[in-house]
């Protein structure tokens, strides 16, 4: 052994420490800014007599993973639908990137940089994985119908560019083997992954995930968790997610907001939320 | 092929630039052969890797520059002659280059199985005293960091895929692409470094240690098999000559880097012949990738061929009625004449014409689907392939052959020459390989490919390598009359009977299990006067027969004891005895008495392993009264056995089992085999 390797003892320890958070998925090591990307202020949402949300306020900071949890019917999906403009709050305001828009439609939200996935997979079943993810790029396409019809010139160049982006995503999500497979034939876990791919193709600033692990087995959940962390780290995407698996929520997220019967009952780091009596009561029930 | 169009942008720049290395008179090491390739065929594609959906390619000129730059980089990290460099990951061009770069400066590459868990990896890395590791991705980096304190010698780690590694401390971590580019740039800037690197290349000798391959070790710790450049080159030359490989050949590299097969096929032979190595996009895309490339030379363990066939059969079930009928008709026809046509035997004109039509309609498209259209020759090895599967591929015109090899031999021991293919043998000794069989039936071989020694394990080396350079294979086998080697079992499982004749239990059992009516067989004979066998009938096959012949039965037990069933099984045993009698070495293992067990052997009762292998010793204990009856001459025996039902309840089965005596045939004695082999 040459003397050149003598230094390696000390270096090994230093490396261990930095590697542990990245491998273990503890969010502490990730750099966070305090800049608010999206804020929800006193939002209420009613359908006729039913109040889905009552006076909810919280914010999402740039670069964080924010979880929204709560028992069934707590209004989590309604909240997500408000954020991406599918519902309009009856009261309150939503500010995204410093701009408050009174009535935002989903396509405006999408153009503004908000992408989402759905609780029940919403893909084009007959189309291939590749084509499904390509649809995520449609908002970014600039050439007109004429050029797209003639299939040469600017439209082709543009498509090559988009295809390159899509291939990056396919590589990122490790779904090369199903590139040409119609998504209807894929198992559920993979469909979820394709849906995430389509959302990523929009290169969003804020990614909304509605129960990304629903119906998955342990291994699929672990894979999906890895992808969510990687998206957050590699692309710096801010993520808001709804999830029922508490283990996943507590491991992945930086901050958690808890809803019950349309009201916010807690907000804070996973540890704070876990210790909150109102949250414990909401999940375990209290004698009335 | 569209892949050729995707030349690397950098290739054009090289076109005017001459090969930078100025030395290498004798091409006795792999780095020197890469220099030769860069000189002889600089623009021919050497490696391809499908990345982001496109086949990226590198020609020999480019590969040479990269390997040279890589070598300079390793030198810069302090890697010197004799140091060990671990290589961990899937088949990626840069990991193959890492082997060549290490060899360039006299260091020894240690490929490690990428799927080994951290503990196994720690053992190999610390045993080999690895100083630097070249790995594929974050997964492997994490594993290495986890075991770093158990491998005190480990310094720097180089990685191929940067994904997920951005936030790691880069004091000891380096991304490969930049590392290689930096090495190339330094070589261009610093003439002294260039002369050191070129000097190191020139100093390499054929007898130098080229690589240490750790055998996966089903028993005990893995052993490090040391192979020299001469060993590996000799083996590669055998393979290239045997099947006339040249620079136009295409192979797909997808088997573990640490496995000797991949090292010879995807590294040694590729560099020697100058052929192109294609690295698939991911482990799941191999079939599709193979189809796109159209490989001309293929190597796969039997399960790969089995999987491809099963998948096709399942898909055919979904096909329309006409297609299904056509498929069946022509596959049946191929089963009759396909192999004969491939072997160049005489076949009638009508059959040939029909085969040609079948080739157009079915066999051609099938081969295309399998990615075997351009195949010159395909090999299967590692374990025995099912004869039906083997014949299926051959019948549709794929020249699939078997070989027998070992890490200790740099793969090649025996191969099947064209036109001499038998499903039950592994072929003739490769030219240059000597084989002898010792008195216990163990196969010993000697060849230029035979390994130097086990790394840091003289005791094991002495145990395996004889004084005169023969290697004990650990497998028992014999030569059939046609001069082909038959492997029968692991040598340690082969027993001896009281009269001194060999008793290979698995060989006897497999011969019995060849009959569809026999599901499982357990043979006894080690240290006994004759061979006795327990048989399990196959309930599906025998049940089917019972239905057709109006035999009424209520349970397995009842069917098993049916005299007609006994008669049928006795017929099979008789045939097995005849075939054993025809094989001089095996003739003593003819079955004298057998019985049909009253229950099916079951893994839940501990009688089979979870991989469905019989546990002879346990079964003998459990059915002690039956064993006694088998050997004391009684014609029936009572047995009570506790069983576990599927719902977990326990119960007892009692039965009176009959025992049948069989006729034993005189053993044919033609010329003693041991002499014939030598």
How many other β-carbons are positioned within 10 Å of the β-carbon of residue B188?
13
B565-587 pLDDT, tens digit per residue, is 999 999 999 999 998 888 877 88
CB pair distance less than 8 Å for B284 and A176: yes
Alpha-carbon gap: A133 to the closest alpha carbon of chain B (Å):
14
DSSP symbol at B678? -
B167-191 pLDDT, tens digit per residue, is 888 889 999 999 999 999 999 999 9
pLDDT at residue A27 greater than cutoff 60: no
Residue A176 is nearest to which of B155, B167, B285, comparing CB atoms?
B285
Residue A130: enclosing H or E segment and its boundaries? helix A129-135
Give the model's confidence band at B670: pLDDT under 50 very low, under 70 low, under 90 confident, else very high: low
pLDDT of residue B58: 97
pLDDT cut 90: percent of chain A above it: 40
- CATH homologous superfamily of A3-113+204-284 equals P-loop containing nucleotide triphosphate hydrolases (3.40.50.300)
DSSP symbol at A120? S
Instruction: Check if the beta carbon of residue B176 is closer than 8 Å to that of residue B158.
Output: yes
pLDDT cut 70: percent of chain B above it: 94
pLDDT at residue A32 greater than cutoff 70: no
Which of A22, A130, A131 is the best residue to mutate to test the B interface, defined by the most B CB atoms within 10 Å of its own CB?
A22
Residue B340 buriedness (CB in 10 A; 0-12 / 13-18 / 19+): middle
CB pair distance less than 8 Å for B52 and A167: yes
B192, two tokens: 């002294």
Phi, psi at A26, each rounded to 5°: -70, 130
pLDDT of residue A281: 84
pLDDT of residue A152: 72
Cβ-based interface (< 8 Å): residues of A facing B: 1-2, 4-5, 7-9, 11-16, 18-19, 22-23, 29-30, 163-164, 167-168, 170-172, 174, 176-177, 179, 230, 233-234
DSSP symbol at A140? G
Mean of pLDDT over chain B: 88
Looking at residues B326-354, what average pLDDT do you find? Answer: 89
Residue B224 buriedness (CB in 10 A; 0-12 / 13-18 / 19+): buried
CB pair distance less than 8 Å for A13 and B149: yes
Give the model's confidence band at B419: pLDDT under 50 very low, under 70 low, under 90 confident, else very high: confident
pLDDT at residue A15 greater than cutoff 80: no
The set of residues, in sequence order, having a beta carbon less than 8 Å from that of B396 and lying 6+ positions away, is B331, B334, B338, B362, B363, B366, B367
Q: Give the CA angle between residues A54, A58, A60 to the nearest 5°.
A: 140
The set of residues, in sequence order, having a beta carbon less than 8 Å from that of B304 and lying 6+ positions away, is none
Residue B145 is nearest to which of A4, A16, A233, comparing CB atoms?
A16
**Among A7-11, A219-223, B369-373, the least confident range:** A7-11
Select the more confidently predicted residue: A103 or A70.
A70
Q: What is the DSSP string of B515-530?
A: STTEEEEEEE-TTSSS
- Rounded Cα distance between B250 and B276, Å, is 5
pLDDT of residue B669: 64
pLDDT of residue B22: 54
How many other β-carbons are positioned within 10 Å of the β-carbon of residue B419?
10
Alpha-carbon gap: A148 to the closest alpha carbon of chain B (Å):
23
Q: What is the DSSP string of A217-263?
A: -HHHHHHHHHHHHHHHHHS--EEEEE-S-HHHHHHH-SEEEEEETTE
pLDDT at residue A167 greater than cutoff 90: yes
- Supply the angle between the helices A218-234 and A154-172 in degrees, to the nearest 10: 130
- Rounded Cα distance between B11 and B38, Å, is 12
pLDDT at residue A9 greater than cutoff 50: no
CA nearest to B184, candidates B174, B194, B192, B175: B194
pLDDT of residue B175: 96
**Among A2-11, A139-148, B223-232, B510-519, the least confident range:** A2-11
The set of residues, in sequence order, having a beta carbon less than 8 Å from that of B159 and lying 6+ positions away, is B134, B135, B136, B137, B138, B140, B141, B165, B173, B174, B175, B176
pLDDT of residue B217: 58
Query: Which residue reads 């056995």 in tokens?
Result: B641
Residue B653 buriedness (CB in 10 A; 0-12 / 13-18 / 19+): middle
Looking at residues A8-30, what average pLDDT do you find? Answer: 39
pLDDT at residue B671 greater than cutoff 60: no
CB pair distance less than 8 Å for B171 and A11: yes
Q: Burial letters for B549-583: b for 16+ Cβ neighbours within 10 Å, e otherwise?
A: eeeebeebbebbbbeebbebbbebbeebbeebbeb
B103-149 pLDDT, tens digit per residue, is 999 999 999 999 888 888 999 999 999 999 999 999 999 999 999 99
pLDDT at residue A4 greater than cutoff 60: no
pLDDT at residue B678 greater than cutoff 70: no
Q: Give the CA angle between residues B251, B252, B254 to the nearest 5°.
A: 145
Alpha-carbon separation of residue A44 from A76, A88, A262, B109 (angstroms): 13, 9, 8, 65
CB pair distance less than 8 Å for B148 and A164: no
Residue A9 is nearest to which of B78, B80, B152, comparing CB atoms?
B152
Residue B271: enclosing H or E segment and its boundaries? helix B269-273
Q: Which strands make up the sheet holding B377-380, listed edge to edge? A: B297-300, B377-380, B400-406, B411-415, B428-429
CB pair distance less than 8 Å for A15 and B77: no
3-state secondary structure of B51: strand
Cβ-based interface (< 8 Å): residues of B facing A: 51-54, 77-78, 80, 83, 129, 131, 141-142, 145, 148-149, 152-155, 163-169, 171-173, 281-282, 284-285, 288
B387, two tokens: 């004869």
Instruction: Check if the beta carbon of residue B659 is closer than 8 Å to that of residue B635.
Output: yes
Looking at residues B367-375, what average pLDDT do you find? Answer: 88
pLDDT at residue B5 greater than cutoff 80: no
Domain boundaries, chain A: 3-113+204-284, 126-203
The size of the A-B interface in CB pairs under 8 A is 90
pLDDT of residue A100: 83
Which of B155, B282, B289 is the best residue to mutate to test the A interface, defined by the most A CB atoms within 10 Å of its own CB?
B155
pLDDT cut 90: percent of chain B above it: 54
B224-260 pLDDT, tens digit per residue, is 999 999 999 999 999 999 888 999 999 999 999 999 9
Residue B650 buriedness (CB in 10 A; 0-12 / 13-18 / 19+): exposed
CA nearest to A57, candidates A209, A207, A264: A264
Alpha-carbon gap: B281 to the closest alpha carbon of chain A (Å):
7
Looking at residues B70-99, what average pLDDT do you find? Answer: 96
B42, two tokens: 């600089």
Give the model's confidence band at A288: pLDDT under 50 very low, under 70 low, under 90 confident, else very high: low
CA nearest to B450, candidates B477, B476, B475, B473: B473
Instruction: Check if the beta carbon of residue A88 is closer than 8 Å to that of residue A64.
Output: no
How many other β-carbons are positioned within 10 Å of the β-carbon of residue B34?
28
Phi, psi at B231, each rounded to 5°: -60, -55
CA nearest to B336, candidates B347, B344, B322: B347
pLDDT of residue B231: 95
How many other β-carbons are positioned within 10 Å of the β-carbon of residue A24?
11
DSSP symbol at B42? T
B470-500 pLDDT, tens digit per residue, is 999 989 998 988 889 988 888 888 888 898 8
A207-242 pLDDT, tens digit per residue, is 999 999 888 888 889 889 989 998 998 888 999 999
CA nearest to B486, candidates B424, B420, B419, B442: B424
pLDDT of residue A23: 38
Q: Give the CA angle between residues B85, B89, B91 to the nearest 5°.
A: 110
Alpha-carbon separation of residue B552 from B517, B543, B557 (angstroms): 17, 9, 12
Residue B148 is nearest to which of A12, A29, A172, comparing CB atoms?
A12
Give the model's confidence band at A72: pLDDT under 50 very low, under 70 low, under 90 confident, else very high: confident
pLDDT of residue B339: 86
pLDDT at residue A287 greater than cutoff 80: no
pLDDT of residue B15: 44
């Amino acid at each position: 052994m040459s003397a050149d390797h003598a230094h390696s003892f000390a270096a090994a320890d230093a490396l261990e420490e930095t590697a542990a958070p990245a491998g273990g998925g503890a969010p502490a090591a990730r750099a966070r800014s305090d800049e608010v990307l999206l804020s929800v202020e006193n939002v209420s949402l009613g359908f006729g007599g039913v109040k889905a949300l009552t006076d909810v306020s919280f914010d999402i900071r740039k670069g964080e993973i924010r979880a929204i949890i709560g028992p069934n019917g707590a209004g989590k999906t309604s909240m997500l639908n408000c954020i991406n403009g599918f519902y309009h709050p009856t009261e309150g305001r939503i500010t995204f990137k410093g701009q408050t828009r009174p009535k935002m439609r989903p396509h405006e939200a999408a153009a503004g940089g908000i992408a989402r996935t759905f609780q029940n997979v919403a893909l084009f079943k007959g189309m291939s994985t590749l084509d499904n993810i390509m649809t995520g790029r449609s908002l970014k396409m600039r050439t007109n119908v004429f050029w797209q019809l003639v299939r040469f010139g600017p439209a082709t160049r543009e498509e090559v560019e988009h295809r390159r982006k899509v291939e990056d995503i396919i590589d990122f999500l490790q779904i090369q083997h199903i590139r040409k497979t119609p998504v209807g034939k894929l198992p559920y876990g993979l469909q979820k992954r394709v849906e995430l791919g389509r959302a990523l193709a929009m290169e969003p600033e804020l990614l909304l995930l509605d129960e990304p692990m629903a119906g998955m087995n342990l291994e699929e959940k672990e894979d999906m968790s890895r992808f969510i962390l990687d998206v957050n780290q590699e692309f710096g995407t801010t993520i808001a997610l709804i999830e029922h698996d508490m283990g996943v929520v507590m491991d992945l997220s930086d901050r958690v907001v808890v809803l019950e019967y349309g009201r916010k009952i807690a907000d804070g780091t996973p540890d704070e939320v876990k210790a909150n009596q109102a949250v414990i009561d909401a999940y375990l029930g209290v004698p009335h | 092929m569209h892949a050729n169009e995707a030349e690397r942008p950098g290739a054009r720049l090289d076109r005017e630039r001459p090969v930078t290395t100025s030395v290498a008179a004798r091409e006795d090491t792999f780095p020197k052969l890469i220099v030769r390739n860069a000189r002889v065929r600089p623009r021919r594609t050497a490696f391809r890797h499908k990345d982001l959906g496109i086949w990226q390619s590198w020609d020999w000129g480019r590969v040479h520059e990269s390997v040279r730059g890589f070598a300079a980089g390793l030198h810069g990290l302090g890697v010197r002659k004799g140091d060990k460099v671990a290589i961990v990951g899937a088949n990626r061009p840069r990991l193959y280059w890492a082997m060549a770069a290490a060899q360039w400066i006299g260091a020894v590459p240690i490929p490690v199985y990428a799927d080994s868990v951290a503990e196994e990896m720690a053992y190999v890395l610390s045993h080999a005293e690895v100083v630097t590791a070249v790995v594929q991705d974050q997964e492997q980096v994490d594993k290495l960091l986890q075991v770093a304190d158990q491998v005190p010698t480990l310094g720097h780690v180089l990685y191929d895929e940067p994904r997920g590694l951005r936030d790691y401390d880069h004091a000891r971590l380096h991304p490969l692409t930049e590392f290689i580019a930096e090495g190339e740039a330094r070589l261009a800037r610093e003439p002294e470094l260039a002369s050191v690197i070129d000097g190191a290349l020139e100093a390499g000798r054929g007898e130098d240690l080229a690589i240490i391959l750790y055998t996966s070790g089903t028993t005990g710790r893995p052993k490090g098999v040391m192979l020299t450049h001469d060993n590996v080159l000799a083996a590669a030359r055998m393979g290239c000559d045997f099947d006339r490989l040249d620079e136009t050949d295409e192979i797909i590299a997808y088997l573990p880097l640490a496995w000797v097969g991949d090292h010879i096929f995807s590294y040694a032979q590729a560099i020697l012949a100058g052929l192109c190595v294609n690295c698939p996009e991911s482990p799941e895309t191999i079939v599709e990738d193979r189809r796109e490339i159209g490989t001309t030379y293929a190597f796969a363990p039997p399960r790969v061929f089995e999987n491809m066939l099963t998948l096709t059969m399942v898909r055919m079930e979904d096909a329309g009625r006409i297609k299904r009928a056509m498929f069946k008709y022509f596959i049946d026809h191929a089963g009759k004449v396909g192999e004969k046509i491939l072997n160049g035997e005489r076949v009638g004109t009508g059959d040939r014409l029909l085969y040609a039509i079948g080739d157009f309609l079915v066999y051609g498209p099938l081969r295309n689907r399998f990615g075997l259209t351009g195949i010159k020759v395909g090999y299967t090895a590692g374990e025995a392939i099912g004869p039906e599967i083997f014949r299926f591929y051959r019948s549709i015109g794929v020249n699939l052959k078997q070989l027998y090899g070992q890490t200790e031999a740099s793969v090649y021991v025996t191969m099947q020459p064209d036109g001499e293919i038998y499903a039950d043998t592994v072929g003739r000794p490769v030219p240059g390989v000597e084989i002898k069989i010792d008195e216990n039936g163990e196969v010993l071989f000697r060849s230029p490919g035979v390994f130097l020694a086990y790394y840091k394990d003289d005791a094991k080396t002495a145990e395996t390598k004889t004084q005169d350079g023969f290697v004990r294979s650990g497998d028992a086998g014999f030569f059939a009359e046609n001069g082909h080697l038959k492997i029968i079992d692991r040598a340690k499982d082969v027993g001896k009977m009281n009269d001194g004749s060999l008793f290979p239990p698995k060989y006897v059992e497999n011969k019995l299990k060849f009959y569809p009516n026999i599901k499982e067989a357990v043979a006894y004979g080690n240290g006994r006067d004759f061979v006795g066998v327990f048989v399990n009938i196959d309930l599906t096959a025998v049940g089917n027969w019972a239905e057709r012949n109006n035999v009424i039965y209520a349970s397995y037990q009842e069917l098993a004891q049916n005299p007609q069933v006994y008669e049928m099984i006795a017929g099979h045993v008789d045939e097995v005895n005849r075939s054993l009698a025809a094989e001089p070495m095996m003739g003593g293992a003819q079955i004298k008495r057998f019985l049909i067990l009253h229950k099916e052997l079951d893994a839940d009762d501990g009688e089979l392993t979870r991989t469905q292998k019989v546990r002879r010793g346990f079964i003998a204990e459990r059915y002690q009264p039956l064993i006694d009856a088998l050997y004391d001459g009684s014609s029936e025996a009572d047995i009570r056995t506790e069983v576990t039902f599927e719902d977990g309840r326990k119960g007892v089965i009692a039965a009176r089992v009959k025992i049948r005596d069989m006729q034993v045939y005189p053993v044919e004695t033609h010329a003693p085999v041991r002499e014939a082999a030598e």
